[in-house]
Copies of this chain bind each other. A is one copy, B any other.
Amino acid sequence: MMISLLALLAAAQAAPATSPAPPLPSDPIPGDWRPIPDDELLVMTLAGKRTVVIRLAPGTAPEHVANVRRLARAKWWDGESVYRVQEGWVAQWGDPNDDEPGKPSKRKPLPADVVKVPAAEYDIATFAPAQRLTRADAYSTASGITADGWPVATDGTASWVTHCYGTVGVARDNSPDTGSGSELFTPIGQAARRLDRNYTIVGRVIEGMKYLSALRRSDAPLGVYAKAAERTPIVSARLASDIPAAQRPHFEYRAADNPRFAAMIDMRLHPKGLVALGGIDVCDVPLAARRVGAQ
């Protein structure tokens, strides 16, 4: 096994060491961890007791998040599935049924209060990352991490949340205003940045991403499983706020509006003993969240 440096780089996000070494400038202090409200957590349980926890993004996708909350309260996803796992692209879940021209729709009806809404976008005035990255990337002219831990980018006019590994996007049909939040996907390979501005990020997987990323790939066109038996059933999807207090999970995110977070980025830009590359991609900045308390 040869692993040392590779490991060291990967471990940069890891919890503080248990050794008595003094804290690094990049180690978060207790106040850097801030609670995620219970109604901003979607707890999706897949068959086999595999729990995927999604932090919702009401600040940037309020209408889509409102839909997700309605769908969760209607228990709409219960009994649905992860029906699409395309190698190097996305895992997608919801209702696998599709419309066929000239036939009655087989799609599961949406709750009456769930309306399809246009892709979210916001203007440059809202582009205010707490950590602004120093180099542009191929898809934007500036990018960074907001105080509350979301990856954002701008082209100088509009700004948006970026499609990184593990962010949760709203699937839709051809027209940009056909997404409701009922069909969701997450990139399981290279960031899907070419979807930026065309699709809406409604959240981010903060626990259990491995239960989506390691699902068997489908060889069928577009990664949609050819047989129903291949799908991974969704047992339930609930807002944490709707889960009885005794079972309710609690999570915190690592805030970015502090010098520890800046030091972590700087450590990535100037890794000890390595050739420095001068920049870091917005999708490569570690965005930590952690489960706290009992449960």
Contacts and interface: CB of A to CB of B under 8 A. Distances in A.
Copies in the complex: 2
Contact of A173 (B5, B86, B139, B185): B5
B194 A84 contact: no
A6 interface: yes
A37 B171 CA distance: 41
Contacts of A278: 138-139, 155
Given A1-B183, A209-B87, A280 B7 contact: no
Contact of A6 (B9, B97, B199, B275): B199
Would you call the interface of chain A mostly helix, strand, loop, or mixed? loop
Contacts of A16: none
B137 A2 contact: no
Interface residues of A, number: 80
Nearest to A6: B171
Nearest to A85: B214
A172 interface: yes
**Most chain B CB neighbours (cut-off 10 Å) among A1, A164, A280:** A1
Interface string A188-208: 111101111111000000000
A2 B172 contact: yes
Contact of A1 (B97, B191, B210, B274): B97
Given A3-B183, A165-B189, A214-B214, 15 more contacts: A2-B178, A2-B179, A3-B98, A11-B221, A85-B214, A137-B138, A137-B279, A138-B278, A138-B280, A155-B278, A191-B281, A194-B268, A194-B284, A196-B277, A210-B217
Q: Which 9 A-B pairs have the closest CB atoms?
A: A138-B279, A210-B217, A2-B171, A197-B275, A2-B183, A138-B281, A165-B190, A139-B277, A4-B174
16 contacts: A3-B171, A5-B172, A6-B171, A6-B185, A9-B195, A10-B222, A11-B221, A136-B136, A139-B279, A140-B277, A164-B190, A165-B189, A188-B189, A193-B277, A197-B277, A210-B217
